[in-house]
């Protein structure tokens, strides 16, 4: 019995030390300032609900941030204050398909509702340039035209 308690106690001490060091590392690693951006995603003047937004630092250095629009096309998230490339995708259910083969389960068939140009990293024309220390409003008014 004593051996098990000693092992358990040693495990608890090691776990506690690990968690403490992790907390110190995380706090000290968060020295880069962050800022908030918010806005509305629309396509042809209509809000785009449940769209996925990905924000990539143009420089290639920094944190990638993700969010989703609500039912009214609004989004809000915290990002690093640097120029960002923005990828936006949105889908809708367009029927059912069999998964794997003719005996597979039925799953929703999803189709893109936004042009492909907005959903391709490295190809998207969309950018964001948030202002450090302030909430920056960036609305994305998209067009269904592929031009």
pLDDT surpasses 80 at 33: no
Asked if residue 78 belongs to a domain, the reply is yes
Same domain, 65 and 49: yes
- Split at pLDDT 50, 70, 90, the class of 4 is very low
Same domain, 91 and 53: yes
- Residue range(s) defining the domain that contains residue 57: 35-142
Same domain, 26 and 45: no
Q: Are 21 and 120 in contact (CB under 8 A)?
A: no
pLDDT surpasses 50 at 1: no
Instruction: For 46-97, write each residue's pLDDT tens digit.
Output: 999 999 999 999 998 889 999 999 999 999 999 989 999 999 999 999 999 9
CB atoms within 10 A of CB 10: 10
d(CA 120, CA 133): 29
Overall number of domains in the chain: 2
Same domain, 78 and 46: yes
Same domain, 26 and 12: yes
Same domain, 39 and 27: no
Q: Does pTM surpass 0.85?
A: no
């Amino acid at each position: 019995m004593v051996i098990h308690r000693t092992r358990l106690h040693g495990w608890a001490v090691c776990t506690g030390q690990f968690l403490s060091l992790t907390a110190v590392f995380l706090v000290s690693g968060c020295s880069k300032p962050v800022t908030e951006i918010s806005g509305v995603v629309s396509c042809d003047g209509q809000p785009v609900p449940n769209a996925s937004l990905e924000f990539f630092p143009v420089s290639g250095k920094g944190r990638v941030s993700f969010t989703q629009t609500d039912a009214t096309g609004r989004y809000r998230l915290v990002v690093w204050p640097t120029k960002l490339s923005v990828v936006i995708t949105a889908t809708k259910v367009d029927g059912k398909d069999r998964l794997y083969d003719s005996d597979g389960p039925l799953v929703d068939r999803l189709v893109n509702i936004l042009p492909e140009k907005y959903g391709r990293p490295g190809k998207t024309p969309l950018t964001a340039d948030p202002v450090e220390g302030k909430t920056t409003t960036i609305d994305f008014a998209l067009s269904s035209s592929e031009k």
